[in-house]
Amino acid sequence: MSNTAGQVIRCRAAVAWEAGKPLVIEEVEVAPPQANEVRLKILFTSLCHTDVYFWEAKGQNPLFPRIYGHEAGGIVESVGEGVTDLKAGDHVLPVFTGECKDCAHCKSEESNMCDLLRINTDRGVMLSDGKSRFSIKGKPIYHFVGTSTFSEYTVVHVGCLAKINPSAPLDKVCVLSCGISTGKLSRSYLNVAKPKKGSTVAVFGLGAVGLAAAEGARMSGASRIIGVDLNSSRFEEAKKFGVTEFVNPKEHKKPVQEVIAELTKEEWTEALNVQEMLKP
């Protein structure tokens, strides 16, 4: 156990006081973790467009002051009562959609939308007692999607943490917290879509989420994976994730779905010709 366990930790955090206003580096107090919670030291965090979207307060209920951030890598500083899977010193990644492991969704092979820990952008407090673990001179500072990684220390529900190999470089794997794990696309593709081996798949958008879907398609044995993106430079990187063909809608005068339909029509025509050749 660390020598700060059970104590309030003072550290720096980037606080959003108002929608769209610059974040301010403040000294915040971070309370000890309560039951089923973990306090961790954030070593690396990245910026996701979701952070920007909610900072701008577009299309949702504004909640300020708040500490954003959800793509990060850190080390466990201390754990609360009931936490047995993690200990001080473990390397972890926080995730905004956690798993309690007990509800019907967590036990299902076709869903990971946990009843307790599914993403909730309106909640700015911890589940155990409805309070924030962040404060400045006694004033509560709200959490964001249960992670709030724009702080040197944060408190997260144990079900929203993934323990990782300590040899993994945190400055690189921190993006796994969101970009790849969003919807757990690879697993969802395999367990929900259940594609047959040899299928042709089209993936729209070749950012981190789309690449995760392409990886899932490759794992399923898809014979053709058609990547669709407005940025042609993404094709080379997408090949590493299994994308075999690329379509840029800007390079065509017809809707992209028609372009894809023509590609797959040629495939079926070739298959038909082979069958004709095999006829006695």
Domain covering 9-175, topology: Quinone Oxidoreductase; Chain A, domain 1 (3.90.180)
What count of other Cβ atoms lies within 10 Å of the Cβ of residue 72?
28
What pLDDT sits at residue 211? Answer: 84
Asked if pLDDT for residue 273 goes beyond 80, the answer is no
167: CB partners within 8 A, 6+ apart: none
Mean pLDDT lowest among 83-87, 118-122, 198-202, 272-276:
272-276
pLDDT in tens, 263-272: 776 554 444 4
What pLDDT sits at residue 61? Answer: 80
Nearest to 129 by CA among 161, 155, 98, 93: 155
Which has the higher per-residue pLDDT, 142 or 107? 142
List every span in the chain annotated with CATH 3.90.180.10.
Answer: 9-175
* β partners of residue 38: 79, 156
SS3 content of the chain, % helix, strand, coil (to 5): 30, 25, 50
* β partners of residue 92: 74, 163
Residue type, position 166, single letter:
P
List every span in the chain annotated with CATH 3.40.50.720.
Answer: 182-276
Asked if pLDDT for residue 145 goes beyond 90, the answer is yes
Average pLDDT, the chain: 87
| CATH number belonging to domain 182-276 | 3.40.50.720
What pLDDT sits at residue 184? Answer: 46
